[in-house]
Structure 1
């Protein structure tokens, strides 16, 4: 990664991953509000400054979570538009070394291949510096875009869990996808 990419922890040709910051509240919440139709009923990212502060604060402070903004960049310059986010939740260390993946693209970035690149960067970071061995993604069966994304990243379908998570007022079925890092 070129040194001039600022706050990015890792970067590819079109996107970089960087930590959440309190300074990102205005842009993040505006993008979340613009993307409501894209996200429903799968996802509900924070859309107010107060909700963002709580969300980002938990990602920053909780050692069982790691959150990253996906930002577009051009010509090796950091600081591009926030395209979405990728988070690793429920991180367990020790012999398990696992985490649960969560992510969301904002409407202006959807369908452009940015998240295929971002997820590849995240996997390299998770299996490298974070020293994880396994990532899981729980996806509602009707979310074809999300299923296609994890398939492109090498995740395998491991099972089905009926009524797994309470989302948007109902218990939702989920497919369980996983990928493991190099042994």
Structure 2
């Protein structure tokens, strides 16, 4: 199997591919090991049943999930999902993502995000992607800024996270903006 057979797209250091049932053990182990990094921002599936339910939801037509894998060793470095996909005049989706602790701070998520943007604006035919980030999540905001997203607004009590309704900043990028960023 070549690198082009394994990944939907790849850059110099990472490749992106879809989630599979075979990824359950590695993904859940990495989620447990990365809990301190993720809290209080996100809660990826850390147990088998939760992963299976997550994988099932990713099969819905309004969702698409990507694993971001380190090409050096094939390990999962992080993940990104495109949710609430709407076509027609809207052609938009909302993304969520997370890095795993062993890959954090190495630029792998930046490279993976750019690959997913290229895929979403190309093969998926989307025009716009949005991300909602809690204002204190500086790493996440830095990631979307590096990718060329623009801040579009503030949504009080937007998402129920970690037991409470949390404020979020709304960031977005269009296909035209991404093309200007070289995506």
Q: 2-side partners of 1:64 and 1:138: how far apart?
A: 18
Q: For residues 164-183 of structure 1, what are the structure 2 equivalents within 5 Å?
A: 164-182=158-176
Is 1:14 aligned to 2:8, yes or no?
Answer: no
Is 1:29 aligned to 2:32, yes or no?
Answer: no
Match of 1:163 among 146, 149, 157: 157
Q: For residues 24-173 of structure 1, what are the structure 2 equivalents within 5 Å?
A: 24-59=23-58, 61-74=59-72, 80-173=74-167
TM-score when scaled to structure 1?
0.94
Kept in 2, the 8 Å contact 1:127–1:182? The answer is no
SS at match of 1:33: helix
How well do the aligned residues superpose, as a CA RMSD in angstroms?
1.4
- Unpaired runs of 5+ residues, structure 2, are 178-183
Task: Render the CA deviation track for 1:6-56: whole Å, top value 9, x for unaligned.
Answer: 321011011000000000000000000000000000000000011000101
TM-score when scaled to structure 2?
0.94
Q: 2-side partners of 1:152 and 1:11: how far apart?
A: 19
